[in-house]
Amino acid sequence: MSLPARRNPWRDTPSAAFSRRPLLRTLGALATVVALTVTGSATALAAPASPKASTATQAPDPGLQQVMFVGNNWDGTADVIKARGDFARIGRINVIPDKDQRLTEIYLNPLKLVFFLGIRSGPGEGHDQFVDDMYATPDGTAMVVSRPSFADVVSIDLATGRINWRFPVSGFRSDHMAVSPDGTRVAVSASTSNTVHVLDIRTGRQLGSFKTGDKPHENVFTGGGRYLWNMSIGEVNTALDDPLMDWTKGDRRITVVDTETFKEVKVIDMRARLDAFGRKDLSDSVRPVAFTPDESKLYFQVSFFNGFLEYDIASDRITRLKTLPKNPATSEDRTTWVNDSRHHGMSMSPAGDKLCVAGTMDDYATVIDRATLQEGPLVTASKPYWATVSGDGASCVISEAGADRVTAIDFATGRKVASVDVGDHPQRVRIAHVTAGWTGPKTP
């Protein structure tokens, strides 16, 4: 199952030199370490949940068409592609129509400029980060987008391409988002202020916020929208990647809040759980995750690891670990791995029987049988950065950031079924709905 040794052109680009500059060490030192202990009870989160219909399988409104949004991070665009079949591109949206205005504000503010350049030289690998995450409003008329380099969230009118509203996040960088099951609220991580903001998706009005560990990252709603989970990943933009320097990475934990009060329900420190499982060597920085359909188990990736772990929510313990193959062409120098990620991207089939994993630095993706944890064929991919589920639930869809394309892999066979070219450096891919017949914003 191992991949043949091969040269990775993306890893040889000059931008790799940018990701470890001292500037980001200085910015990382600005983060406040918030030390919290575990609170609440595991049983509160493990209460039987009604299995939710996957957003990939919900019947769309007759006036809407199901699509996928693909965020082209370095382009400042989002491609809209079909959600199944050949995944052909339908249209493209400029998510930075206000670029000149935002850049003027940044260059006139020395502190904003420092962070803007820090994002470029750190997580941006020498590029500005113009789109991280995106969702559609329930009526399919707007796309809501987080823009890291501009430290904001905007709503883009899909008919005109104009901005409906803009929400500047606290701090200097916006990151991963999540939309509530009813589609009315969107949560966004403000990664330099250790805060998650929850907004009304139609108006951009803040409904609440809560504090997290250092560098909040992925957000997931559970319990039909009753809870919101945030995974903080700590400082990932320094060269202090040796395991002996792990203490410099900051406060990494999962924060779970009640979405009515935004009060903490539970804080999960995976350090203690990993130690109890006998893996003190693994980082406790929780990266992409996938819940089972009944939300009884959580599968998660951690920094620097070519594999993932299984966490049982009711018993509050790690139960299984899967180590995936290494690519012999991948350097073992951790400082060459983008933002401490060896593998970054997970999704689960609607039935809950298969997992799909993006092996980012190892240049492959694979489908895994959840019962046995046996991987299928290793599908060669260039810097796969995210994994989600197709509209019909039949395929895992990955973004290939190193090849500027999106690829679909059949859950049943583990084989590639389609690829489509997109913009520069695709990252997040999300199921969405737009109005029937939509092909892009109408230009005047």
Q: What is the largest CA-CA distance in the chain?
A: 62
Task: Give this prediction's pTM.
Answer: 0.87
Confidence (pLDDT) at 117: 96
Question: Which helix (H) or strand (E) element contains residue 420?
Answer: strand 416-421
pLDDT in tens, 285-334: 999 999 999 999 999 999 999 999 999 999 999 999 999 999 999 999 99
Confidence (pLDDT) at 243: 86
Is 197's pLDDT higher than 90?
yes
In this predicted model, which residue has the larger pLDDT, 34 or 207?
207
Of the pLDDT bands very low, low, confident and very high (cuts 50, 70, 90), residue 45 is: low
The residues facing 50 across adjacent strands are none
In this predicted model, which residue has the larger pLDDT, 188 or 45?
188
Query: Per-residue pLDDT averaged across 417-438, rounded?
Result: 97
Confidence (pLDDT) at 5: 42
Is 29's pLDDT higher than 70?
no
- Pairwise CA distance, residues 365 & 369, whole Å: 14
Is 64's pLDDT higher than 50?
yes
Lowest-pLDDT choice from 53-57, 135-139, 259-263: 53-57
Is 258's pLDDT higher than 60?
yes
What CATH number is given to the structural domain containing 164?
2.130.10.10
Of the pLDDT bands very low, low, confident and very high (cuts 50, 70, 90), residue 52 is: very low
Nearest by Cα to 200 from 135, 150, 255: 135
Of the pLDDT bands very low, low, confident and very high (cuts 50, 70, 90), residue 443 is: low
Q: Which residues of 203-215 are buried (b: 16+ CB within 10 A; e: fewer)?
A: ebeebbbbbbbbb
Whether residue 4 lies inside any domain: the answer is no
Query: Per-residue pLDDT averaged across 47-74, rounded?
Result: 68
Q: Which two tokens stand for residue 209?
A: 């916020």
In this predicted model, which residue has the larger pLDDT, 125 or 366?
366
Confidence (pLDDT) at 242: 87
Domain total for the chain?
Answer: 1
Is 129's pLDDT higher than 90?
yes
**What is the rounded radius of gyration, in angstroms, for the C-alpha atoms of the chain?**
20
Quick check: 396 and 378 in contact, CB under 8 A?
A: no
Confidence (pLDDT) at 244: 85
Confidence (pLDDT) at 186: 98
- Output the CA torsion 51→398→147→145 (10° steps): -50
Is 39's pLDDT higher than 80?
no
Of the pLDDT bands very low, low, confident and very high (cuts 50, 70, 90), residue 245 is: confident
Confidence (pLDDT) at 137: 97
Q: Which two tokens stand for residue 73?
A: 């991070």
pLDDT in tens, 325-360: 999 999 999 999 988 899 999 999 999 999 999 999
- Pairwise CA distance, residues 294 & 49, whole Å: 6
Can you spell out the DSSP letters for 164-227? EEEEEPSSS-EEEEEE-TTSSEEEEEETTTTEEEEEETTT--EEEEEE-SSSEEEEEEEGGGTE
Confidence (pLDDT) at 51: 35
Residues 6+ away with beta carbon under 8 Å from 325: 1, 2, 3, 306, 362, 364, 375, 378
- Pairwise CA distance, residues 290 & 287, whole Å: 10
The chain-wide mean pLDDT, for the chain, equals 88
Confidence (pLDDT) at 444: 54
Whether residue 314 lies inside any domain: the answer is yes
In this predicted model, which residue has the larger pLDDT, 2 or 36?
2
Of the pLDDT bands very low, low, confident and very high (cuts 50, 70, 90), residue 273 is: very high
Whether residue 55 lies inside any domain: the answer is no
Nearest by Cα to 27 from 219, 213, 232, 173: 173
- Output the CA torsion 238→174→400→311 (10° steps): 80
Confidence (pLDDT) at 191: 96
Q: Which residue type does 211 have? A: K
Domain that holds residue 227: 13-41+64-435
